[in-house]
Amino acid sequence: MFKLHFLLLFFAFKIAISLSERPYVTRISCGAQNDVRSAPTSTLWHKDFGYTGGIRKNATTTSFITPPLNTLRYFPLSEGPENCYNINKVPHGHYSVRIYFGLVAEPSFDDEPLFDVSIEGTLVYSLPPGWSNHDDEHAFVETLVFPDNGTASLCFHSTGHGDPAILAIEILQVDDKAYYSGPGFGRRTIFRTSQRLSCGDRNSKFDVDYDGDLWGGDRFWSSIMTFGQNSDKPISTKSTIKSASVAPNFYPPALYQTALVSTDNEPDLMYTIDVDPNKNYSVWLHFAEIDPLVTDVGQRVIDISINGDIEFPGVDIVKMAGGVNSALVLNKTVAVSGRTLTITLHPTTGTHAIISAIEIFEVITAESKTSPEEVKALQSLNLALGLPRRFGWNGDPCFPQQHPWSGVDCQFDRSSNKWVIDGLGLDNQGLRGFLPDDISRLHHLQSINLSGNNIRGPIPSTVGTITSLEKLDLSYNYFNGSIPESLGELTSLLTLNLNGNLLSGKIPAALGGRLLHRASFNFTDNAGLCGIPGLPTCGPHLTVGAKIGIGFGACVAVVVIATCIACWWKRRQNILRAKRIAARDAPYAKKRTHFNHIQMSRHNHHGQHHENNTRTAVENGPPLLT
């Protein structure tokens, strides 16, 4: 029994360890209202909820590569020119991010959209014309990236040629050292897959189809049976391949069971791919000596050149891989000035060259991001002013540089190595709401133009802390209250337009003095302002505290007067009530008085008395009323 319990605990521990070592995986079926599974591998795709805006639409897929999903997320221009998926709680690490494109399945949507894609604020791909007519890798974009701060930010930017439509998203964790390419590798480097080929294989496959390791990122390998007519031939083996599925890249061993071998007609193997000029590309070449004609070291040696430069001289696969049927991977990053990248394998010993697979990545330097504090300040401004959705303030305000936020100007701050906001131009946009105190967190602003809107409320005194401010235009809004004294402390301020508002009170003396120093200030069309030439003369200037004191005293006086009036009114009502009661009882009292007088007269007339003791009613006093 003890042994049984021990074995159960052991296997439970092994399972826990195994689960903890599994890579993080998230797959989203865009536009889906429920989780779905796709054939043939029953892959789980999560529903699309709480990640972004846009509109749910039915989907048409364009390639056999794309997962067979029925919905997509569509972003019309009315939703803004920039829209993003923000996927939170992504563990720290290195990830393969794959975004699949689709077409809206409606007759009115007959044109393929062309738009830009950025990941973590860096532009990584622009969809080319005709992408939807290719049954290949044009159906998706794939990158290797290190997300920041536990959030993967994937953005889509309209370019005026149709609206973005996204079918699905995959975020697959890979080894932190996967595709390590030298000293420049790291968090500032993004790899975008340009091409990934499985040479000599008849069928294109994902890693899962090769029974590959999960840590490989489920790569897609496009099959290629020849580099050119009569220049090569495919070969294959069923032998087990050694040294393939190892860290950090975990290539599937079956990838190396096929290859292309050159022929006597063309001893060299040559592959050419179209690329963007003036960029760096990381080239990964895969070999395994599976040719039964080569069994030992020195029987096949090849030189490998890229765009005419020999990058790998004297490659002996058997020697370098440690034997036949063993995997060998060579990597080189090269700068390409032209529009093509050509790989040439030339045999120097033996008569033929051989290759199993090719991977080519565009190397992209990740852009520096905007200061997080200033991004939060812009988000606060967005909420306070109620910016229309057409502004599309999503993603990073300054990047990609081709798609900054509307109305936002940026500059690079070398001291923080971040981008900062130096200008806001949101004039004549029909904005409502108020100007928040958080605008002071935009420390580097030089210009603010919010004129011609419907913004209400006071001007925040915190604006006076933006010491770099040179221009402040709040004209033709509904700002009220007094002009903050702090504005007078803005020594760099050259232009101040506050005309056409509801401002009142005395203009701060520091601002009035600045008019003599080539500053351009406009305070007109504010009926309550005073204190400088051209405006009404101010009465005694009261501080805010004095105004509050006067207001409070006035309130107390009103309460006291109201109390006195109420007391007087109540007393008067009591007096009137008493008079009414007395008036009602007066006739009865008069009759009683007359009757007593008669009785007393009779008594005095008939009674026995002496003359000296006789008294009149007047002498005896008035009769008592009962």
Backbone phi and psi for residue 341, each to the nearest 5 degrees, phi listed first: -125, 120
d(CA 301, CA 350): 7
Residue 214 burial (CB count, 10 A): 16
C-alpha count within 13 angstroms, C-beta hemisphere, residue 237: 19
CA distances to 330, 471, 531 from 499, in Å: 69, 14, 15
pTM, full prediction: 0.80
Amino acid at 68: P
Here the tokens at position 182 are 């030298």
Closest CA to 132 of 223, 61, 31: 61
Per-residue confidence (pLDDT) for residue 573, from 0 to 100: 77
The three-state secondary structure class of 557 is: helix
Per-residue confidence (pLDDT) for residue 188, from 0 to 100: 87
Per-residue confidence (pLDDT) for residue 231, from 0 to 100: 87
355 within 8 A of 286, measured Cβ to Cβ: yes
Per-residue confidence (pLDDT) for residue 13, from 0 to 100: 38
d(CA 508, CA 69): 64
Q: Which residues contact 174 (CB under 8 A, 6 or more apart)?
A: 23, 94, 95, 96, 144, 215, 216, 217, 248
Give average pLDDT by consecutive 10-residue segment, the chain, 626 residues: 44 40 96 94 94 93 92 94 94 96 89 94 94 85 92 94 96 96 86 97 94 96 92 96 96 98 95 96 98 96 98 98 97 97 97 97 93 95 93 92 94 92 96 95 97 97 95 97 93 94 92 70 92 79 58 76 80 75 56 42 41 38 35
Long-range Cβ contact pairs of 437-443 (< 8 A, separation 24 or more): 437/462, 438/376, 438/377, 438/380, 438/381, 438/384, 439/377, 439/380, 439/381, 439/463, 439/466, 440/465, 440/466, 441/373, 441/374, 441/376, 441/377, 441/380, 442/374, 442/377, 442/378, 442/466, 443/374, 443/468
Per-residue confidence (pLDDT) for residue 517, from 0 to 100: 63
Q: Which residues contact 451 (CB under 8 A, 6 or more apart)?
A: 427, 428, 473, 474, 475, 476, 477, 497
476 within 8 A of 455, measured Cβ to Cβ: no
498 within 8 A of 475, measured Cβ to Cβ: yes
Closest CA to 155 of 394, 397, 467: 394
Q: Which residues contact 434 (CB under 8 A, 6 or more apart)?
A: 384, 385, 455, 456, 457
3-state secondary structure 351-382: CCCEECEEEEEEEEECCCCECHHHHHHHHHHH
118 within 8 A of 400, measured Cβ to Cβ: yes
Here the tokens at position 129 are 């014309």
Q: Which residues contact 289 (CB under 8 A, 6 or more apart)?
A: 300, 317, 318, 321, 324, 325, 326, 354
Here the tokens at position 489 are 């402390």
Q: Give me the DSSP letters along 571-606.
A: HHHHHHHHHHHHHHHHHHHHHHHHHHHHHHHHHHHH
Here the tokens at position 344 are 């040439």
Eight-class DSSP state of 311 = E
d(CA 220, CA 613): 145
CA distances to 99, 118, 189 from 367, in Å: 20, 11, 9
Q: Give me the DSSP letters along 405-429.
A: PTTEEEEEETTTTEEEEEEEE-TTS
d(CA 102, CA 59): 6
d(CA 463, CA 465): 5
Per-residue confidence (pLDDT) for residue 108, from 0 to 100: 83
Q: Which residues contact 48 (CB under 8 A, 6 or more apart)?
A: 28, 29, 30, 31, 32, 33, 56, 71, 73
- Each residue's pLDDT tens digit, 263-317: 999 999 999 999 999 999 999 999 999 999 999 999 999 999 999 999 999 999 9
Per-residue confidence (pLDDT) for residue 17, from 0 to 100: 36
The three-state secondary structure class of 623 is: coil
Q: Which residues pair with 326 in a beta bridge?
A: 242
d(CA 30, CA 49): 9
Backbone phi and psi for residue 24, each to the nearest 5 degrees, phi listed first: -70, 135
